[in-house]
Amino acid sequence: MNNHKRVLWFVVITTSSLFLLSLLSTFFSIEYEPLKNISLVSDIFRGPKKSINSVKQQIDTSSIVESKINVDSSSIQKKFKLYQTPNRVTNYAIDSSVIALPIFIQKLDEFHKGKRKKIRIAFLGDSMIEDDLITQTFRTLMQQRFGGYGVGFLPISYPAANGRTTAMISASENWKEINFRNNTDKTTLYISGRCFFANGHSVTEIADNTAKNNLPLQKYLLYGKTLATDILANGKQIKVSAATNFNSMLLETSPSNKIKLEVNNQMPVFGISLESPEGIIVDNFSFRGNSGTDFVKMDTTFLQSITANHTYDLIVLQYGVNIFGKASDENFDWYSTLMKKSIQKLKAGFSNVDILLLSTADRSFRYGNEYKTAKGMNALLYLQQKIAYETDIAFYNTFMSIGGEGSMVNWVNSKPPLAYKDFMHPNTLGSAIIGRSLFESVLYEYQKIINTTANHKK
């Protein structure tokens, strides 16, 4: 009996002590490190919601200072500030008339004037752009505005091929795939995060469901270094050999929207690109679960070989929702370091190219009896903007563009729904809204160069 009393007194004293410490922590902001995550009154006395401004004060901003960056021989004053304007791209220029994507917009203007045949955009992202979501709308609108057709890059095999409406991919099961997840040597992978090898007689059939009837469609094979060998493309035998790590070969140009590839050797194959002879090409590089940090280990020389053979004019980075491991996550310093290294690697590999970072969209978790925007959302948004500023790339606030705080819950509950009930992925309708917003943001920047040209003519 005495032992039972001791246990009872121990529980009473411990509980009382924790209760007292919780009250002191709540009302007097007193923290004791070993117990800072324990509070017996957190559900009774809720502290004020953390705003972006409060998060800003917690992050060291000593390295963020006003700077001048030269673009096209002009001096642009830039200053970091939290960018919350929806449906717009920023490069943090103080002067709002400054073009946020100067290299890309200049190339787009040259294309419009007939000085370039193609504009190629790489759209790198996670499961939010899987099945060509967001990108299919962005591509369609860009091609309608500036010209071109074709779905662009397609992998040899695709785990969710049946969900994609813009293309059909049917591959034999004996393709061997190495990717970001099963291969630690990322230097051998394409920017899609994948590379394929035939294991015997391997076959892939691809159809571009966006191609225009009776118009010529180019089919390019993207592949790596290989000894002389033969492949079949739509039944035609083609000799292939390459001494460089990345190569692009035109297999055929015809009105057909289909290509059948047959390979019997161990040559590395990255994918096939279906595109118009001239116009806008938007390549979707989705990789489920990716946070954007895998590019750190890619080989710079390999990336430069892509530039030499398959030039990109704009690189869009769409990441963020996978940074949250759990609902309570609020510290993402680890992500900042790796993501900045990834961006620097891409900048080293792709010269004379603008890079645009899209922020995370809203993501909601269940807190108590209802879904709410993630507690760490403001911290992540601030960090992503800081990454864009410190690496000197452009930024687009997806979170604010879809409605900001609580938008994912609103999208799930809207009629018709704009997002899935996982409270993190927009559906086809919601993705189309984001794709259109991004297109209009780019068009807004393009209009600046049109206005400048018109003013010079006056």
How many CA atoms lie within 13 Å of 354's alpha carbon, on the beta-carbon side?
Answer: 25
**Stretch 99-120: mean pLDDT:** 97
Which tokens is 418 given?
């704009």
| Omega cis (within 30) before 416 | yes
User: Sheet holding 202-208: strands in order across?
Assistant: 167-171, 202-208, 258-263, 226-233, 236-242
Instruction: State the average pLDDT over residues 28-40.
Output: 43
Query: Could you say which architecture CATH assigns to the domain 50-148+278-458?
Result: 3-Layer(aba) Sandwich (3.40)
Nearest-5° Cα angle at 435, 342 to 329: 50
What residues contact 33, with CB distance under 8 A and at least 6 apart?
none
Taking 90 as the threshold, does the pLDDT of residue 281 lie above it? Answer: yes
Q: Is pLDDT above 60 for 221?
A: yes
Distance CA 70, CA 286 (A): 33
How is residue 360 annotated by DSSP? P
Measured CA to CA, the distance from residue 420 to residue 313 in angstroms comes to 33
CB 182 within 8 A of CB 287: no
* Residue ranges of domains in the chain: 1-47, 50-148+278-458, 153-277
User: What tens digit of pLDDT does each residue of 331-379 get?
Assistant: 999 999 999 999 999 999 999 999 999 999 999 999 999 999 999 999 9
Domain 153-277 has CATH 2.60.120.1360: yes
**370, containing H or E segment:** strand 370-373
Q: What is the pLDDT of residue 21?
A: 58
Q: What is the pLDDT of residue 212?
A: 85
Lowest model confidence (mean pLDDT) among 28-37, 137-146, 388-397: 28-37
pTM: 0.84
Q: How far apart are the first and last CA of the chain?
A: 99
Report DSSP letters for 70-127, one per residue.
Answer: EETTEEEEE-------TT-EE--BSSTTS-SSHHHHHHHHHHHTTS-SEEEEEEEESG
**Residue 46 or 265, more confident:** 265
